[in-house]
Structure 1
Amino acid sequence: MTEYRIDDLARASGTTTRNIRGYQERGLLPAPLRRGRVAIYTERHLANLRAINRLLSNGFTLKHIGTFLTNPRAMVAEALDLPDLLDLRWAQRRPDEITHDELERALGPVDAETLDALVDARILTRVDGSSRVRAVDDNILRNLGRLVARGMELRTLIVVHHEFTDRLADAVRVLMSGARDEIVRREGPGWIPSTPDEVEWVTDLLATMRSSATANAYAALDRALDDARDAEVKDYLATVEMP
């Protein structure tokens, strides 16, 4: 079995020695082995730390993680009561504000009209209604920048992104409405969970519907992108005069 001192464990897990000590104080990590005055950690500690990192990156709090790790049989609804679940954003953390210079380094020249278009397309959002902005998602901005770097016009990309996300939002509503319809089918309109078992059922249904919808959407999107690419190439070649 691999053994680690605390500095080695921090490097292997991608966290800090301070965090490791804090997790130990909260009971999220088992006590290390002792060899004299030296604390020795094992693969079990590394596995726990990686699990903690994954849960933190997905928006869970240390309170939730403590319930998961110290009471594996606890219901999800007990660790995440329903208000917590509904308030939890499944998307990534809110990006930092972005300056105009940073924006132009990513996307090229951005005048006031283009900035408004980026906001309208929900690529950027204004901070408290001011002139300051932040990206809705850093990945979206980064991917647009990759296409701009390959010569595509930013205004065209904004229009395409706007239309694509609008249609995607409609598709997502269709998928997620299935959970609501199932609740109505089983319990009737206006029903509210009132017992631990009912809360657990609703929590599990919403989480499973979300994860299943994500996996199915990725698969469907991959197929749709391949089909659309092939169709566009075929249509383009049909307009080309072959020698």
Structure 2
Amino acid sequence: MSEEPTDDQGAHPRADGREYRIGELAKAAGVPVRTLRYYQERKLLPPPRREGRIGLYSEHHLARLRMIANLLERGHTLEGIRELLSAWEQGRDIGTVLGVEQAVTTPWSTEVPVTMTLDELAALFPGGVGPDAVERAVALGHIAVDGDRVTHWSRRQLDATVTLVRAGVPLDAVLSAGQELQRSMDDLAAMFVRLIATHVVGRLDDREIDDRHLGELTETLARLRPGAQVTVEAGFARAMDRQVRTAIDQLLARLATP
């Protein structure tokens, strides 16, 4: 038997607040009934109180649906929302839990993408932007193509690539170097993640974690973010100093050879 309400089926008030049939709850929350049922199947929404074959939902259900909608708008997955709601039900401050999640998932990159036409991109690399080069750049994640529009993930990196090519480095060689650099960066990022997971997150005892610990973890992660970036930038600059000096010494030695 369907639980869909007819027009003359009103909500059933109780002493502790209003109650809704499933269609009424869906309308109040602004979601289809099938979505509400799906949330129940995924255990995102508690079962209703039942009067015979009729399910009655409370203001608590409506508040939870609105929270789910808010979290979806912020980019959370349904599985992630289920875990957040579980933590909330266990007495966690959901704001604190979200603070940790945001500290972990906030993008590290502050690069500004740039969009142009394929012709405009080709004009930056005369004779170098053929179908193979475009396909390779897409595979490497440098660009995304939508019809005749191309979006490069970083204006700064695009400018650097243009500078290298105009200096005489073939575009194909730049793409190869970028691929090798990305592998190195992935290894370096994995090392930092292991350090944080082992020495920051791993030292917390799951049985003793409370909102204070989660707040401290959020602050620690926020402090580590700029430190990791500075370490990489400073280390790369120092390595470039060594490599440039070595290359210049080798060039001078060649020039000095009769």
**TM over 0.5, shorter chain:** yes
Deviations 1:57-87 (A, max 9, x none): xxxx9xxxxxxxxxxxxxxx75962333344
1:226 is the counterpart of 2:244? no
Tell me which amino acid in the other structure corresponds to 2:189.
V
1:124·1:134 contact (CA, 8 Å) conserved in 2? yes
Tell me which amino acid in the other structure corresponds to 2:223.
T
1:171 is the counterpart of 2:188? yes
TM-score by length of 1: 0.57
- Aligned partners of 1:93, 1:140: CA distance in 2, in Å? 9
- Aligned partners of 1:176, 1:87: CA distance in 2, in Å? 12
Tell me which amino acid in the other structure corresponds to 1:124.
I
Deviation at 1:89, TM superposition (A): 1.6
Counterpart of 2:135 (choices 116, 126, 132) is 116
1:179·1:205 contact (CA, 8 Å) conserved in 2? no
1:137 is the counterpart of 2:150? no
> Identity, % of aligned pairs?
20
Equivalent pairs counted in the alignment come to 164
Deviation at 1:113, TM superposition (A): 0.5
Tell me which amino acid in the other structure corresponds to 2:190.
R
SS at match of 1:175: helix
- Aligned partners of 1:93, 1:171: CA distance in 2, in Å? 19
1:123·1:140 contact (CA, 8 Å) conserved in 2? no
Deviations 1:166-215 (A, max 9, x none): 11221122123211111354125xx4995331221221222222211111
RMSD: 3.0
Counterpart of 2:168 (choices 138, 146, 151) is 151
Q: Flag the 1:187–1:84 CA change in 2: closer, same or farther, 3 A.
A: closer
Structure of larger gyration radius: 2
Counterpart of 1:85 (choices 93, 96, 103) is 103
- Aligned partners of 1:172, 1:92: CA distance in 2, in Å? 16
SS at match of 2:193: helix
What corresponds to 1:207 in structure 2?
Answer: 222
2:114·2:152 contact (CA, 8 Å) conserved in 1? yes
- Aligned partners of 1:108, 1:193: CA distance in 2, in Å? 62
Tell me which amino acid in the other structure corresponds to 1:226.
D
SS at match of 1:125: strand
Q: What aligned pairs does 1:65-104 form with structure 2 within 5 A after superposition? A: 81-92=99-110, 95-104=113-122
SS at match of 2:203: helix
1:118·1:124 contact (CA, 8 Å) conserved in 2? yes
SS at match of 1:122: coil
2:97·2:214 contact (CA, 8 Å) conserved in 1? no
What corresponds to 2:212 in structure 1?
Answer: 197
What corresponds to 1:125 in structure 2?
Answer: 144
Question: 5+ unaligned residues in a row in structure 2: which ranges?
Answer: 1-73, 75-94
1:176·1:209 contact (CA, 8 Å) conserved in 2? no
- Aligned partners of 1:184, 1:152: CA distance in 2, in Å? 44
- Aligned partners of 1:237, 1:122: CA distance in 2, in Å? 39
Deviation at 1:99, TM superposition (A): 1.4
Deviations 1:142-188 (A, max 9, x none): 11111222222111111112111211221122123211111354125
Q: Flag the 1:227–1:78 CA change in 2: closer, same or farther, 3 A.
A: same
- Aligned partners of 1:143, 1:83: CA distance in 2, in Å? 33
